[in-house]
Structure 1
Amino acid sequence: MEDFDKQTADEYIILAEDDGRILGFSSLYLPDDFIHLLFVHPEVSGQGVGKELLSASIEKMNRPARLKCVSENHKALKFYEKNGWKKVVEEEKDGEKYWVMEY
């Protein structure tokens, strides 16, 4: 939790819950209209939790909204593109490539 608090300082957190159980979350840096983190528990992957979190995140931000996705995470890239996000530019940092995407 300490690391989570440090990584998401000054960010707006959206939780997906079911009967008190956390199913996923998104973390938004609203001054830049940027989705910093979006995580869905593996047990509920493919059940619409990610789509709901993404929709709720988009509602909180101005356009264009942005996010970064690791280039090797083909499943996530496909998910974002299916939900209206577009690849803008592929960048590299610390030896890892990622796509900057916009909605």
Structure 2
Amino acid sequence: MPYPVIRPARADEYDEIARVWMESWVSTGLAEASDFMLANLRARVRREIEHGWSLFVADDNGTIAAMLALHVPKLYLDMLFVAPAYQGRSLGRQLLAFTRTQLPDAMYLRCVRENEKAWRWYEREGFEFEKEEIEPSNGFVMKYYRWKNKGNAP
């Protein structure tokens, strides 16, 4: 089966992207799906685009399989969420490889400490832990990571 195609998101897809984001987040066991959460994520997608997100989707023949949000000037991988039906198929690894084409020298990210599956995966993918801090907007303890392309090191 061919991988979904990674491409820039279109404005008419933002609501569906928010749904994929919510379903993936809920699959971590750290939240429950709700209309309230979905409405907040829909608003946030639009707000983050206005504040510099480069938003991509993994498109599986018209179905959004994942979302990827980068803030390229800040070298920041902000969001990487794979729809539950597509988890475990190496789509996250494909999205990360794509991210490294956009941010080839270094990047930063943060991950909720309780989402152990995610941060352990990032560590296996070469990210180095830097610190933990509480995120005031939601109360979660966030783990901060950095990746540096060792092939570009002097």
Same fold (TM over 0.5): yes
Which whole-Å CA distance do the structure 2 matches of 1:13 and 1:60 have between them? 12
- Tell me the secondary structure at the aligned position of residue 114 of structure 2: coil
Shift of the alpha carbon at 1:18?
1.1
Q: Does 1:80 align with 2:118?
A: no
Runs of 4+ more than 6 Å apart: none
Aligned partner of 1:11 in structure 2 is 53
Q: Which amino acid aligns with 1:98?
A: M
Shift of the alpha carbon at 1:36?
1.0
Shift of the alpha carbon at 1:84?
1.0
Q: Which amino acid aligns with 2:56?
A: I
Q: Which amino acid aligns with 1:7?
A: E
Aligned partner of 1:98 in structure 2 is 142
Matches within 5 A, 1:1-103: 1=15, 2-3=42-43, 4-9=45-50, 10-94=52-136, 95-103=139-147
Shift of the alpha carbon at 1:98?
0.7
Structure 2 unpaired stretches of 5+ = 1-14, 16-41, 148-154
Which whole-Å CA distance do the structure 2 matches of 1:8 and 1:89 have between them? 27
Deviations 1:70-99 (A, max 9, x none): 011000011111111111111112232011
Shift of the alpha carbon at 1:7?
2.7
Shift of the alpha carbon at 1:14?
2.0
Larger Rg: 2
Structure 1 unpaired stretches of 5+ = none
TM-score between both structures, scaled by the size of structure 2: 0.63
- Tell me the secondary structure at the aligned position of residue 16 of structure 1: strand
- Tell me the secondary structure at the aligned position of residue 106 of structure 2: coil
Query: Aligned residues: percent identity?
Result: 26
Aligned partner of 2:31 in structure 1 is none
Deviations 1:15-61 (A, max 9, x none): 11111111001100011010111110011101011111111112101
RMSD between superposed Cα atoms in Å: 1.3
Which whole-Å CA distance do the structure 2 matches of 1:8 and 1:85 have between them? 25
- Compare the two structures and name the one with the higher helix fraction: 2
